[in-house]
Amino acid sequence: MKMLLVAEYRQKKLLESYTELLAFAGQFGAECAMFLVGDGAAELPKFAGRLYLADVATYGEYNPDAHKRLLLDVVAQEQPEMIVFSHSSYGWDLAPRLAASLKAAQVSEVVAVDAGRLVVPACNAKLRRTVAGNGAVTIATLQAGAFSLADAAAGSPEVIAVKGEGQGRVALLGYEAAEHGGVDLTKSEVIVSAGRGVGKPENITLVAGLAKALGGEYGASRPVVDAQWVEHNRQVGTTGLTVSPKLYVACGISGAVQHLAGMKKSEFVVAINTDRDAPIGDVADVFAVADLKQLLPVLTEKLQAL
Amino acid sequence: MKLLVCIKQVPDMESKFKIDTDGVWYDRGDLAWRMNEYDEYAVEQAVQVKEATGADLTVLCIGPDQVKETMKKALAMGCDRGVHIADDQSHRRDPFQIASLIAAFARDKGFDLIFTGMQSQDRGSGQVGVMAAELLGLPAVTTIVGFALAGNTITVKRELEGGVKATVEATLPALVTCQLGLNTPRYPTLPNIMKAKKKELLTVAAADLSPADALLNTVKLTFPEKKGGGVFLEGDVGEVADRLIRILKEKTSVLA
């Protein structure tokens, strides 16, 4: 099997996620080439194979028209059976453009490989679909963290410079840094997070109270932050923070894939939820099937009395 | 100016899902249906543009007859008319086929701006909007959490990882896919719900739009395997709290 892996470069840095693409390719024993719009003078992906490198100074970090054309040229040369991206803001934006141009099947957010077939989540990870492309080429985007290399990436690629038309209809004007300030959840050993199940903003105090009793900080899932019940710098998940505390308590969080991606590396996970089928159960060490509005005050009081 | 917003009807994600007898999709009976959450932000943004510019706004939805219920909500939020692409098989179609239906309808209609959600809650492919733009030859920007229109130019914020945003500009006509948090979707008021009943709702048969052939097949749909080893605590909350504290003392160092 021949694969073309698409690495990413953002805010003047090569993203480490290319190693996840290599880990995925390893499961197929695939022969890999890689494509990157990056900086040849900076750090390059470590692997043994052909690296098709386009200069970021010419083609930009986000210029989907130009990146698609460059990729189409490389695809024509390499004739891969699979083209692999990260399921990231770069990958989910670029992959469907390539898929439409090639009339190739795209499989989004691959979480596993089952007998050579790709497995993706459906319905907020409550279900899993096993899928297969019909044509000669399949495009896949991989869920962040789903595949990882056992050993550090190694090797030096054979660099092949690629050039093409640099024009694009979408212009990147600049970046806006994440809001920080105040709390840094990534440094906290205990995080108690609020999800949609808290019901109303007043109940955030229950979650914050438990966090305090456990000597930790409180966080939240995306819907709670979108509702402005909790500040953005406390959001855990794909588009917020990735955390790995000693203890993570998920209160009223169903466990959407985007949230799981941000907390599944926690050492010990407690879920508090009324729905015992909630996907948060997939990563929970303890699942308290309870209404958080009843359990949290009792639990907090008992912890304070210790 | 002409606007199009594309929406999907999905089951409530809190539902208890069952696998359908064909083994490749969920059983569509006994489910509560609603507008795909991402699409609510797309509809709201489109309505805001309509209100600011006096543009004409069409809402499009593909699916069986029941999707008209969800379309009525979009009409009550402020869309001018609905186009229902009638298709009893839409849940079996892959993203490229759905995109081909949207493109077949939108082609030559002269839409200046097309809004979609960034993904659906059930399939979650995130492909349909971008593919429709490709088929229509339009520039597309995905995952927007900020939107401004000035003359013929849109300036949008894309949400990247780790809370970083990218500011991106494009010239109309264009397509954008909307992320949660882009705006605050309005609740339709009762007078607007009544008005929506009188709005035009046109039906086009999917077959008349010659959908593309499928590129992707679902081999099977399954429930994820539970991690195992997870302990369930149930019953009296006082007892649950005590057992939980005992486990935390045994298995973690946070109460030491």
Domain total of chain B: 1
Please indicate, yes or no, if residue B161 is contained in any of the structural domains.
Answer: yes
Contacts of B216 in chain A (CB under 8 A): 105-107, 131-134
pLDDT of residue A277: 86
The residue among A97, A191, A205, A169 whose CA lies nearest residue B132 is A97
The answer to whether residue A178 scores a pLDDT higher than 80 is no
Q: What is the mean pLDDT of residues B129-154?
A: 98
Give the tens place of pLDDT for each residue, A206-232. Answer: 999 999 999 999 999 999 998 889 988
Q: Would you mind telling me the total number of residues written for chain B in this entry?
A: 256
- Side-chain half-sphere of B123: how many Cα atoms within 13 Å? 27
Q: Would you mind telling me the total number of residues written for chain A in this entry?
A: 306
Q: Do domains A2-161 and A185-304 have the same CATH topology?
A: yes
Give the tens place of pLDDT for each residue, A87-128. Answer: 999 999 999 999 999 999 999 999 999 999 999 999 988 899
Please indicate, yes or no, if residue B221 is contained in any of the structural domains.
Answer: no
CATH label of the domain that carries residue B198: 3.40.50.620
Q: How far is CA A233 from the centre of its chain?
A: 18
Q: What is the mean pLDDT of residues B179-201?
A: 95
Please indicate, yes or no, if residue B120 is contained in any of the structural domains.
Answer: yes
Contacts of B213 in chain A (CB under 8 A): 134
**Interface test mutation site (partner A, options B8, B175, B254, max chain A beta carbons within 10 A):** B254
Q: What percent of chain A has pLDDT over 70?
A: 99
Give the tens place of pLDDT for each residue, B167-189. Answer: 999 999 999 999 998 999 999 99
Alpha helix positions (H), chain A: 18-28, 56-59, 64-78, 91-102, 204-213, 222-226, 257-263, 292-304
Please indicate, yes or no, if residue B180 is contained in any of the structural domains.
Answer: yes
Distance from CA of B96 to the nearest CA of A (A): 7
- Across the interface, of B26, B237, B251, the residue whose CB is closest to A298 is B237
Are B11 and A123 an interchain contact pair (Cβ–Cβ within 8 Å)? Answer: yes
Q: What is the mean pLDDT of residues B46-67?
A: 98
- Across the interface, of A121, A129, A276, the residue whose CB is closest to B232 is A276
The answer to whether residue B19 scores a pLDDT higher than 90 is yes
What CATH number should be reported for the domain whose range is A2-161?
Answer: 3.40.50.620
Using CA of residue B202, residue B206, residue B210, residue B211, what is the dihedral sign?
positive
The values of phi and psi at residue B198, to 5°, are -95, -5
Distance from CA of A242 to the nearest CA of B (A): 8
Are A290 and B240 an interchain contact pair (Cβ–Cβ within 8 Å)? Answer: yes
Are A173 and B244 an interchain contact pair (Cβ–Cβ within 8 Å)? Answer: no
Structural domain boundaries, residue B30: 2-209
Q: What is the mean pLDDT of residues A139-154?
A: 91
According to DSSP, residue A203 is labeled G
Asked if residue B154 lies in contact with residue B176, where contact means CB atoms within 8 angstroms, the answer is yes
State how far the Cα of B80 lies from the Cα of A119, in Å rounded to an integer: 40
pLDDT of residue A138: 98
The answer to whether residue A71 scores a pLDDT higher than 70 is yes
The answer to whether residue B115 scores a pLDDT higher than 70 is yes
Q: What is the mean pLDDT of residues B28-34?
A: 94
- Across the interface, of A172, A247, A289, the residue whose CB is closest to B166 is A172
pLDDT of residue A181: 62
3-class state of residue A55 by DSSP: strand
Q: Which residues contact A226 (CB under 8 A, 6 or more apart)?
A: B180, B181
Token pair recorded at residue A53: 């490198």
The answer to whether residue B104 scores a pLDDT higher than 70 is yes
State how far the Cα of A292 lies from the Cα of A281, in Å rounded to an integer: 16
Apex A105 CA angle, A162 and A238, nearest 5? 80
Chain B residue whose CA is closest to A289: B234
Are B240 and A104 an interchain contact pair (Cβ–Cβ within 8 Å)? Answer: no
The answer to whether residue B228 scores a pLDDT higher than 70 is no
pLDDT of residue A256: 87
State how far the Cα of A118 lies from the Cα of A129, in Å rounded to an integer: 8
The values of phi and psi at residue A77, to 5°, are -75, -45
Residue-by-residue DSSP string for chain B: -EEEEEE-EEE-TTS---B-TTSSSB--TT--EEE-HHHHHHHHHHHHHHHHH--EEEEEEEESTTHHHHHHHHHHHT-SEEEEEE-TTGGGS-HHHHHHHHHHHHTTS--SEEEEESS-SSS----HHHHHHHHHT--EEEEEEEEEEETTEEEEEEE-GGG-EEEEEEESSEEEEEPTTSS-PPPPPHHHHHHHTTS-EEEEEGGGG-PPPPSEEEEEEEPPPP-S-PEEE-S-HHHHHHHHHHHHHHH-STT-
State how far the Cα of B256 lies from the Cα of B249, in Å rounded to an integer: 7
State how far the Cα of A35 lies from the Cα of A54, in Å rounded to an integer: 8
The residue among A143, A147, A1 whose CA lies nearest residue A86 is A143
Are B221 and A225 an interchain contact pair (Cβ–Cβ within 8 Å)? Answer: no
Average pLDDT in chain B:
95
Contacts of B224 in chain A (CB under 8 A): 121, 125-128, 279, 282
The residue ranges of every structural domain in chain A are 2-161, 185-304
Chain A residue whose CA is closest to B126: A92
State how far the Cα of B143 lies from the Cα of B194, in Å rounded to an integer: 33
What ipTM was assigned to the predicted interfaces of this complex?
Answer: 0.91
Burial class of residue A165 (count of CB atoms within 10 Å of its CB; 0-12, 13-18, 19+): exposed
- Across the interface, of A129, A170, A254, the residue whose CB is closest to B218 is A129
Are A176 and B244 an interchain contact pair (Cβ–Cβ within 8 Å)? Answer: no
Asked if residue A135 lies in contact with residue A105, where contact means CB atoms within 8 angstroms, the answer is yes
For residue B173, cis peptide bond before it (omega within 30 degrees of 0): yes
Asked if residue A97 lies in contact with residue B130, where contact means CB atoms within 8 angstroms, the answer is yes
Chain B residue whose CA is closest to A189: B254
The residue among A85, A16, A77 whose CA lies nearest residue A52 is A77
Please indicate, yes or no, if residue B203 is contained in any of the structural domains.
Answer: yes
Token pair recorded at residue A111: 């979480």
Contacts of A127 in chain B (CB under 8 A): 17, 19, 26, 221-224
- Across the interface, of B124, B163, B219, the residue whose CB is closest to A179 is B163
The values of phi and psi at residue A113, to 5°, are -120, 130
CATH 3.40.50.1220 fits A185-304, yes or no: yes
State how far the Cα of A237 lies from the Cα of B228, in Å rounded to an integer: 23
Are A130 and B11 an interchain contact pair (Cβ–Cβ within 8 Å)? Answer: no
**Could you tell me the end-to-end alpha-carbon distance of chain A, in angstroms, rounded to an integer?**
59
Please indicate, yes or no, if residue B28 is contained in any of the structural domains.
Answer: yes
